[in-house]
């Protein structure tokens, strides 16, 4: 079975997304994103956008600092399940991560339940007392052997969280991620760099500026682009006339 380093504990949405991609795998749980990146386990699984509880900027910074290759992107819709040993009519208290509670306010207000905050959605499912329910992933219900009363109870259409597989098996490539480090700052520099993508008709799907931490006000850029049938090599040559370029890998998206 494939060994994979990822953020713990088990039963979180990260766990559910990793299972979706790897099927059965041997998890090496870490307590911070940095620990995942620095793990001796070769294959790693990290959140990159819009995760419950953040973590995005850590991932971008660590992609720049370490040598790990992105080999796949996994998109997981975040659907909260209502999980309890107690029947719906006898629930008094609902437990979850503050962001998950915030995303299920309609259901909570409709029933007038009390709210209790937990560190993670996974922890909310452990040690449920009579009269208590949790909002968490379906996998957390399965692991703790607690019934799911209702699926997808969040107020609006689910957020999608994106994850990267690092150092996995190469797959046909539709996307790429690149770090651009100009080493100087002047009006119009980003505009000039982006001319390399526009000129080669490559569409950007994500852009973020992040402090380099070397000097206050010095930034690097993280960009994602669609590269199907595109000439990435020429775009990179163009980018190299403006900045240090670090290619983070070419990969496909798994829905």
Cβ(225)–Cβ(196) under 8 Å? no
- Tell me, residue by residue from 141 to 180, as one string, x for binding to a second copy by CB under 8 A and - for no binding: ---------------xx-xx--------------------
**Helix, strand, coil percent values for the chain (each to nearest 5):** 30, 35, 40
Neighbour count for residue 184 (Cβ, 10 Å): 8
Q: How far is the CB of 142 from a second copy (least distance, A)?
A: 25
Among 185, 233, 240, 244, binds a second copy (CB under 8 A): 185
Residue closer to a second copy (CB basis): 138 or 218? 218
What kind and span of H or E run contains 111?
Answer: helix 105-111
Nearer to a second copy by C-beta: 173 or 195? 195
CB atoms within 10 A of CB 141: 21
Judged by CB under 8 A, the number of residues near a second copy is 47
- Assess 183 for contact with a second copy (CB under 8 A): no
Residue 124 half-sphere exposure toward CB, CA atoms < 13 A: 31
Minimum distance from CB of 89 to a second copy (Å)? 27
Q: Does 119 bind a second copy (CB under 8 A)?
A: yes
Tokens 């307590």 correspond to 31
102 in contact with a second copy (CB under 8 A): yes
Nearest approach, Cβ of residue 140 and a second copy (Å): 19
Which residues sit opposite 132 in a β-bridge? Answer: 93
Contact between 64 and a second copy by CB under 8 A: the answer reads no
C-alpha closest to that of 13 among 42, 43, 53, 44:
53
Cβ at position 161, least distance to a second copy in Å: 11
Among residue numbers 15 through 54, which ones bind a second copy (CB under 8 A)?
A: 31-32, 34-35, 49-50, 53-54
Nearest distance from residue 188's CB to a second copy, in Å? Answer: 3
- The contacts found for 152-155 with CB under 8 angstroms, 24 or more apart, are 152/79, 152/80, 152/81, 153/80, 153/81, 153/82, 153/104, 153/107, 154/78, 154/79, 154/80, 154/100, 154/103, 154/104, 155/103, 155/104, 155/105, 155/106, 155/107
Binding of a second copy at residue 128 (CB under 8 A)? no
Beta bridge partners of 7: 30
Q: Which residues bind a second copy (CB under 8 A)?
A: 31-32, 34-35, 49-50, 53-58, 98-99, 102, 117, 119, 156-157, 159-160, 185-188, 190-192, 194-195, 197-198, 201-209, 211, 213, 216-217, 219, 221
């Amino acid at each position: 079975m494939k060994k994979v380093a990822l953020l713990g504990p088990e039963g979180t949405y990260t766990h559910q997304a990793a299972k979706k991609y790897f099927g059965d795998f041997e998890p090496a749980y870490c307590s911070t994103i940095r620990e995942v990146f620095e793990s001796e386990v070769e294959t790693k699984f990290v959140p990159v956008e819009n995760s419950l509880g953040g973590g995005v900027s850590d991932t971008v910074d660590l992609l720049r600092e370490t040598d790990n290759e992105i080999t796949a992107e996994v998109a997981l819709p975040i659907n909260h399940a209502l999980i309890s040993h107690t029947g719906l009519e006898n629930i008094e208290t609902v437990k979850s991560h503050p962001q998950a509670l915030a995303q299920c306010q309609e259901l909570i207000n409709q029933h007038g339940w009390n709210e209790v905050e937990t560190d993670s959605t996974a922890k909310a499912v452990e040690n449920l007392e009579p009269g208590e329910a949790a909002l968490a992933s379906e996998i957390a219900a399965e692991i703790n052997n607690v019934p799911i009363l209702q699926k997808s109870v969040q107020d609006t259409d689910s957020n999608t969280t994106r994850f990267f597989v690092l150092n996995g098996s190469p797959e046909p490539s539709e996307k790429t991620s690149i770090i651009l480090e100009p080493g100087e700052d002047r009006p119009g520099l980003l505009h000039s760099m982006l001319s390399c993508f526009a000129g080669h008709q490559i569409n950007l799907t994500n852009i973020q500026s992040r402090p380099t931490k070397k000097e206050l006000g010095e930034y690097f850029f993280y960009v994602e682009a669609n590269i199907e049938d595109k000439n990435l090599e020429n775009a990179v040559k163009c980018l190299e006339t403006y900045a240090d370029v670090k290619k983070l890998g070419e990969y496909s998206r798994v829905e």
